[in-house]
């Protein structure tokens, strides 16, 4: 393999997406969802011009996550992870829980309208969710490099991607 400039006739055919309309997203931290053996950092992500989720939609999303944890469908593993709630009504839930055996890899669980989605077919994250995942990965690596004291754990749980950072990364 070598670095080269692609031929313009090849570029003409690639990545055109005629039906795609680019709509900016915003994401912001909501807080922690905690269980005895699992604490998840919660983010909401909506289209920039859409109304935020209602209290009922958020309660339903949280109830689903808690139910999946209680049933064992979402593994507790290291005890830390994150949730991204998205869609027009909070119908998409993307949950990453940091693994124990390979602590730098999250185990991902994706739900659409309460049903588990096969991430092998659909992918673990969309590009917008990837911004949050990138931040969470950096925060987790910082934690792994620490002495992993109680204070280091608190620091990880308090290290959220803010709205301003999300917008800046999404526009680059």
Please write the tens of the pLDDT for every residue from 99-109: 999 999 999 99
Mean pLDDT of the chain: 90
- Report the pLDDT value the prediction gives residue 1, as an integer from 0 to 100: 65
Domain span at residue 50? Answer: 23-171
Residue 77 pLDDT > 90, yes or no? Answer: yes
Q: Is the pLDDT of residue 76 over 90?
A: yes
- Residue 18 included in any domain: no
What residues contact residue 80 under an 8 Å CB cut-off, 6+ apart? 38, 39, 40, 97, 98, 140, 143, 153, 156, 157
C-alpha distance from residue 27 to each of 30, 102, 158 (Å): 9, 28, 16
Query: pLDDT, tens digit, for every residue of 46-57?
Result: 998 888 999 999
Per-residue pLDDT, 46 = 92
Q: Which residues contact 130 (CB under 8 A, 6 or more apart)?
A: none
Domain assignment present for 114: yes
Q: Which of 133, 138, 140 is nearest to 108 (CA)?
A: 133
Number of structural domains in the chain: 1
Instruction: Establish if 6 belongs to a structural domain.
Output: no
Walk across the sheet containing 115-117 and list its strands.
25-35, 38-47, 80-86, 92-98, 106-112, 115-117
Inside any domain, residue 13: no
Q: What is the pLDDT of residues 123-171, one digit of tens each?
A: 888 899 999 999 999 999 999 999 999 999 999 999 998 777 777 766 6
Residue appearing with tokens 């693994």: 99
State pLDDT tens for residues 78-89: 999 999 999 989
């Amino acid at each position: 393999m070598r670095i080269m400039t692609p031929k313009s006739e090849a570029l003409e055919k690639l990545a055109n997406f005629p039906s795609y309309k680019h709509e900016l997203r915003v994401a912001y931290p909501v807080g922690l969802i905690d269980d005895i053996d699992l604490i998840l950092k919660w983010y909401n992500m909506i289209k920039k011009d859409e109304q935020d989720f209602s209290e009922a939609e958020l309660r339903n999303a949280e109830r689903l996550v808690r139910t999946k944890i209680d049933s064992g469908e979402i593994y507790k593993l290291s005890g830390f992870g994150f949730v991204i709630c998205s869609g027009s009504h909070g119908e998409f839930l993307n949950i990453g829980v940091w693994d124990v055996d390979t602590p730098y890899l999250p185990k991902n669980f994706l739900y659409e309208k309460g049903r588990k989605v096969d991430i092998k077919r659909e992918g673990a994250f969309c590009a917008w969710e990837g911004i949050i995942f990138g931040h969470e990965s950096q925060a987790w690596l910082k934690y792994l490099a620490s002495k992993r004291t109680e204070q280091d754990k608190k620091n990880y749980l308090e290290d959220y991607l803010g709205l301003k950072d999300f917008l800046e990364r999404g526009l680059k």
